[in-house]
Amino acid sequence: MRIGILTGGGDVPGLNPCIKALVYRAVDEGHEPIGIRRGWRGLLFYNPDDPTTHEECAMPLNKLMVRTIDRSGGTFLHTSRTNPSRMHPSQAPDFLRTEGELDDSQTLDFTDHVLKVLEHLEIDVLTPI
């Protein structure tokens, strides 16, 4: 099983130890942990048709990679306060922008795109922290 891990909503103490524990347990149970970089923003800015976005938005995780992350603050995966279901048009990635002009008082819902990205990454379970 592929397990996606992301941190969203801002930086708080304990994120790195939590990521480490999740990765260790997933690997021990025979699963494949995938880190989503920059929280929900990573899923939003991941373009399945553009391989240059793949490494900057998602990465495989293993025990060696996370062995010492609990010794530093913040989150190893980075975070954002992005909400893909309520995005202002100016904050959306270029490849998702609509043809029509929208003002920033309106919001767009990119949940369908996030679900497509999870399917493309073959993520079976997503663990937002």
Q: What does the pLDDT look like over 64-91, one tens digit per residue?
A: 999 999 998 889 999 999 999 998 888 8
State residue 73's pLDDT score.
84
Report the topology of domain 2-128: Rossmann fold (3.40.50)
Taking a C-beta distance cutoff of 8 angstroms, is the pair 53, 47 a contact? yes
Q: What does the pLDDT look like over 86-112, one tens digit per residue?
A: 988 888 898 987 666 666 678 889 999
- CA 100 vs CA 47, 88, 97, 106, 114: distances in Å: 21, 14, 9, 12, 22
Q: Cα-atom radius of gyration of the chain, to the nearest Å?
A: 15
The more confident residue out of 117 and 10 is 117
Mean of per-residue pLDDT scores for the chain:
92
Segment 29-47 shows an average pLDDT of: 97
Task: List the domain boundaries for the chain.
Answer: 2-128
Site of tokens 């025979």: 30
